[in-house]
C-alpha cells in the first residue's frame, strides 16, 4: 500500500507539470503576440492566439492555485519555510500574475486594443516563470537559513548563484519552446498557413537554447547539490527518453509534418525531465528542512485530501474534455467559423 504522502506529492507534481505546460503556452503566447506586433507580423498570429487563449486563461491560473493550496495542505511546513522566506519574491510573483490576468481580461473583454496592455502581457509572460522558478532553486537548499526560529532568505547568495540564473534561463526558453510548438500545432489545425510558417520558425528557433539551458542547469546542479545530481544520474534512462522525445519533436517540426505529434513529443520530453528532477529530489521538499515523510500533514487529512482530489477529478476531467472538444478539437471553432 503506497503511503498517502507519496500519493500527495505525486499528484502535486503532476499538477505542477500540468501548470508547466498550460502556463507555458499562455506565457509564451503573450510574448509572441507582443513580439509579432513589434515586427509588424501581428496580423498573422494574434487572432489565432486570442482564439485559443480566451476560453482557457482562467483555467491556467487555477492550476497554479491548485498546486499552491495542495502543497500547503499536504505539507503544512512548506507554508512556514517557503512562506516566511518568500514574502518578497512571492509577493512580486503575485503582483505580476495580477497584472497579467487583469490586463488580459481588460484587453480581451474590454473594447480597445492597447500596446501598453500587450507589452505588459508579453513582459509578464517572461517575468512570471522567472520569478516562480526561484522556488525550485530554493528547494535545492543552501539559500534559506533558520536562526532562533526566524526563517530568512539569503538574497546575495541567491542572486550570485549560477544555479539560480541557469534555472531562470531554462524556465524562460522552455516557455517559449513549449508555446511555440503548441501554437504551430494550433495554426496547422486552423489551416492558417502564414501563422503556421511564423510559429514553426519560432518553435525551431527556441529548440536549441532549450536543450543548452537544460544542460547548463544540470551542470550547475551537480556543483550545488551532489546528492540530487547523483539521484538524477541514476535515472539516466528517463533523461535519455527526454532527449529522445526532444529529437523526435525537432525532426517533426523540421520536416514540417505531424505537428500534433510534435507537440505531444515536447510534452513527453518535459514530462520525463520533470519527473527525473522530481524523483531525484526525493525525499526532500526543501533541502534540508522538509522531507516528504516528516513534513506531511496528519494521516486523516492526507486521506481526506486524496479522496477530495479523486472526487474533484471525476468532476473536472469530463468538464475539461468538454472544453477541449468545443475549443481545441472543434475544427470549425479553431478556424474561426464559430
In the complex with other proteins, which residue's Cβ is closer, 6 or 99? 99
- Shortest distance in whole angstroms from residue 65 CB to other proteins: 5
Are residues 63 and 23 in contact, defined by beta-carbon separation less than 8 angstroms?
yes
Q: Which residues bind other proteins (CB under 8 A)?
A: 54-56, 58-59, 61-62, 64-66, 68-70, 72-74, 76-84, 86-88, 90-91, 93-95, 97-99, 101-106, 109-112, 149-152, 297-298, 300-301, 304-305, 308-309, 312, 315-316, 319-320, 322-323, 326-327, 333, 338
In the complex with other proteins, which residue's Cβ is closer, 94 or 212? 94
- Shortest distance in whole angstroms from residue 319 CB to other proteins: 5
- Shortest distance in whole angstroms from residue 48 CB to other proteins: 15
- Name the burial class of residue 124, with classes exposed (0-12), middle (13-18) and buried (19+) by CB atoms within 10 angstroms of its CB: buried
- Name the burial class of residue 41, with classes exposed (0-12), middle (13-18) and buried (19+) by CB atoms within 10 angstroms of its CB: middle
In the complex with other proteins, which residue's Cβ is closer, 82 or 229? 82
- Shortest distance in whole angstroms from residue 174 CB to other proteins: 22
How do 284-286 and 290-291 pair as beta strands? antiparallel
In the complex with other proteins, which residue's Cβ is closer, 66 or 202? 66
Residue 190 — φ and ψ, nearest 5°?
A: -80, -5
In the complex with other proteins, which residue's Cβ is closer, 108 or 231? 108
- Shortest distance in whole angstroms from residue 278 CB to other proteins: 20
In the complex with other proteins, which residue's Cβ is closer, 212 or 317? 317
- Shortest distance in whole angstroms from residue 218 CB to other proteins: 29
Amino acid at each position: 500500500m503506497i503511503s498517502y504522502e507519496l500519493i500527495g506529492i505525486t499528484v502535486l507534481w503532476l499538477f505542477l507539470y500540468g501548470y508547466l505546460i498550460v502556463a507555458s503556452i499562455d506565457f509564451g503566447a503573450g510574448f509572441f503576440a507582443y513580439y509579432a506586433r513589434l515586427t509588424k507580423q501581428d496580423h498573422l498570429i494574434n487572432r489565432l492566439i486570442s482564439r485559443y487563449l480566451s476560453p482557457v486563461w482562467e483555467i491556467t491560473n487555477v492550476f497554479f492555485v491548485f498546486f499552491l493550496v495542495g502543497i500547503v495542505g499536504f505539507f503544512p511546513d512548506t507554508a512556514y519555510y517557503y512562506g516566511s522566506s518568500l514574502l518578497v519574491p512571492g509577493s512580486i510573483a503575485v503582483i505580476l500574475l495580477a497584472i497579467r490576468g487583469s490586463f488580459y481580461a481588460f484587453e480581451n473583454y474590454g473594447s480597445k486594443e492597447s500596446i501598453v496592455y500587450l507589452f505588459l502581457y508579453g513582459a509578464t509572460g517572461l517575468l512570471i516563470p522567472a520569478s516562480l522558478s526561484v522556488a525550485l532553486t530554493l528547494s535545492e537548499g543552501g539559500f534559506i537559513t533558520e536562526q532562533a526560529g526566524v526563517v530568512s532568505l539569503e538574497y546575495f547568495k541567491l542572486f550570485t548563484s549560477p544555479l539560480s540564473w541557469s534555472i531562470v534561463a531554462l524556465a524562460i526558453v522552455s516557455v517559449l519552446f513549449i508555446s511555440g510548438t503548441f501554437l504551430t500545432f494550433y495554426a496547422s489545425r486552423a489551416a492558417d498557413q502564414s501563422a503556421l510558417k511564423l510559429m514553426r520558425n519560432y518553435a525551431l528557433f527556441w529548440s536549441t537554447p532549450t536543450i543548452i539551458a537544460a544542460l547548463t542547469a544540470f551542470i550547475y546542479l551537480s556543483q550545488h547539490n551532489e546528492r540530487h545530481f547523483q539521484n538524477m544520474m541514476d535515472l539516466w534512462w528517463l533523461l535519455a527518453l527526454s532527449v529522445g522525445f526532444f529529437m523526435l519533436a525537432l525532426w517533426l517540426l523540421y520536416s514540417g509534418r505531424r505537428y500534433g505529434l510534435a507537440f505531444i513529443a515536447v510534452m513527453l520530453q518535459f514530462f520525463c525531465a520533470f519527473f527525473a528532477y522530481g524523483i531525484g529530489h526525493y525525499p526532500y521538499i526543501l533541502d534540508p528542512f522538509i522531507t516528504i515523510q516528516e513534513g506531511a500533514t496528519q494521516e486523516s487529512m492526507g486521506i481526506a485530501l486524496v479522496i477530495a482530489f479523486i472526487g474533484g477529478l471525476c468532476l473536472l476531467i469530463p468538464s475539461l474534455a468538454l472544453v477541449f472538444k468545443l475549443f481545441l478539437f472543434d475544427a470549425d471553432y479553431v478556424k474561426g467559423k464559430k
